[in-house]
Amino acid sequence: MTNMTGTKKNIFFALAAVAILAGAMLLPQDADAAVGIVRWSAVGSDPTATISYRLNVTANSGTIQIVNVATSAVVRTITLAAADLTDGPHTVAWDGTTDAGASAPTGTYKARITVNKNAVALPGVARRIRDHSVQAPTSHRYMGIDADNNPANNNQTNPALSSFGNVYVANTVSKYIEVWTPGNAAGADYAQCAFGDPEVLPGWGSGRTGGSSPWGLAVSWSGRPASSDRSQSRLSNYAWDGSDAKISGYQGSANARDVDMLGVNPADTNGMFHAAISSGAKAGAIKLGVEGDGYAYPYGSVNYKTLVLDQWAGDANSYAQGIGFENEASYPWNAKWYFAVGIANKVFRYQGAGTNWDDTSIALDTTFNGSGSLDVTNPSDVSVNPRNPNIIAISKSVTPNVEVWNIGTNPATKITDIAIGSAGASHVAFDAWGNLLVTAGNYIQGLWANMYEIGDSGSTDTRETDVATFVHTYGNNLPVVESVVVSAPGDSAASRLPVDDTTTTTITVVVRDSDGTANLTGATIDLTPFGYGAAVAPTSSSVIDATHMQYVFCLLYTSPSPRDRTRSRMPSSA
């Protein structure tokens, strides 16, 4: 307990703290895949602050820097302990001091969180999201998978509303969209279920009915998951929590096996677009926005623009097909379109052309691998690494079920084959840090979903609480008890506290005040359990250095006489 008068401070020590701490010290490369930070935020309580964050996987080292917003000066660097580097949520406190132990200058501050992970050998490490061959509900199956890769969708002022980093999976049996948050300290799985009960019914309803299920799945740059319809040529998109569902009528997108989203958000004058590839050798997109609702679908197949038709054989439901883009914040007319076509045993790249949606067209990009295509056995989906567009991943309906390629060379070169499980993979996506998200166990309705950390040479992620800033005022720091030592003659374990009326005990307390010892005017200690008063003054005090003061309470007995209880037990020489 601390009492303050003006800028001066008076320290009051509770006996409980002394008893508990008696005899002890009180210590108030660019990589292909990576460790990642989500849900970062800060809450200030002048002069201190609490920094919160979540890690997708365990890091090997890290720091939190406290940065003055006005000057960009780093006033304090906190080295993260091993316990602060595990996967899952964490909080770290800043006590308002600089690296030198003094109170930081008055100002507005932000936290800069940095974590590092050591190299991972190729091909990498699989981390389970859910495996319905061994985890309930064992009847559930997966198709599409994607993640929110836009850091702007991290809500620093209300982390519960953040969607950045979330993994979304289309469950074809429950007809739900599952939502998983990276980093799960509570169990062996990679992610934590964000909605519902993972053992019973995870996620939220997609609005599909009858024989229809969510099929392909993508997440827009604005953070909205989108899906295609298994059998009714309909498309849909939702707020990240399943609210504000927009489900189209018939769109002419046919049996869309996979989807993706293009555009920044509906407020952008260029618009938002929902792209799809169907089993009928057909691909195209529809522009969202109708009657002032930026995410709604205009009704009717005439609004769906077919951009590729009959340029490869239809798969007749015998092979899966996937779609991907190099940059989801681009638009149909300037985007690079990737198509995985199983029956052709190829991945194609098309280049958009035109100046707006009205004159958009796409054509085979023959600069890709020197021919416009890449030979891959039974590809089922394709995704482009957002950290490095020269890296693509291709899922396959045969094993090994994932391939990773460097397409920055001509011809393209394979980086690695990945075998996850013993059956084909359905869909693949990159997360924001270059890790793979894969549904597999069957090429079209998989048993499980995994995150796969591709082998790399080491990784780093840095995030700042540039929205959730906090204020520190010089001079407001509270004193901190740094050590308490209780001693008696002989210094034996039995004499650590007063044991009788003839044995005396000395209590030595060291206090740190980052505002300087000049602000400390005195200290008292509560010894009522021993028959003394609640505010016993120290026998002596001395300055250790600019921020540390020592207080000594000596000649203390276990049970003073009644007359002693009304006066200090001071030595005769005092």
pLDDT tens digits, 454-477: 998 999 999 999 999 999 998 888
Beta-sheet strand order (sheet of 413-418): 379-384, 391-396, 402-406, 413-418
> What pLDDT score was predicted for residue 489?
60
**Region of residue 560 (phi > 0: left; psi between -120 and 50: alpha; otherwise: beta):** beta
Helix (H) or strand (E) holding 16: helix 15-20
Quote the tokens at residue 506.
């000395």
Q: How far does CA 352 lie from the centroid of its chain?
A: 33
Half-sphere exposure of 281 (CA within 13 A, CB side): 10
Q: What ranges do the domains of the chain cover?
A: 2-25+479-566, 37-117+464-472, 120-456
Q: For residues 259 and 222, what is the distance between their CA atoms, to the nearest angstrom?
A: 16
Q: How many residues can be counted in the chain?
A: 574
Q: In what order do the strands lie in the sheet with 282-287?
A: 256-262, 273-278, 282-287, 304-309
249, 395, 431 from 388: Cα distances, Å = 37, 18, 12
Cα angle 501, 14, 570 (rounded to 5 degrees) comes to 40
* 280: CB partners within 8 A, 6+ apart: 254, 255, 314
Q: What are 161-172's pLDDT values in tens digits?
A: 999 999 999 999
Helix (H, G, I), strand (E, B) or coil at 426: strand
Q: How far apart are CA 469 and CA 156, in angstroms?
A: 9
Which residues of the chain fall below pLDDT 70?
1-33, 252, 291, 300-301, 314-320, 443, 488-504, 530, 555-574
Please tell me the predicted confidence (pLDDT) of residue 32: 54
User: Which architecture does CATH list for 120-456?
Assistant: 6 Propeller (2.120)
Q: How far apart are the first and last CA of the chain?
A: 27
Query: Which residues lie closer than 8 Å to 193 by C-beta, 6 or more apart?
Result: 178, 179, 180, 181, 202
Three-state secondary structure of 71-82: CCCEEEEEECCH
Predicted pLDDT of residue 198: 94
- Which of 1.10.10.10, 2.60.40.4070, 1.20.120.1200, 3.40.50.10420 is the CATH number of 37-117+464-472? 2.60.40.4070
Distance CA 431, CA 422 (A): 24
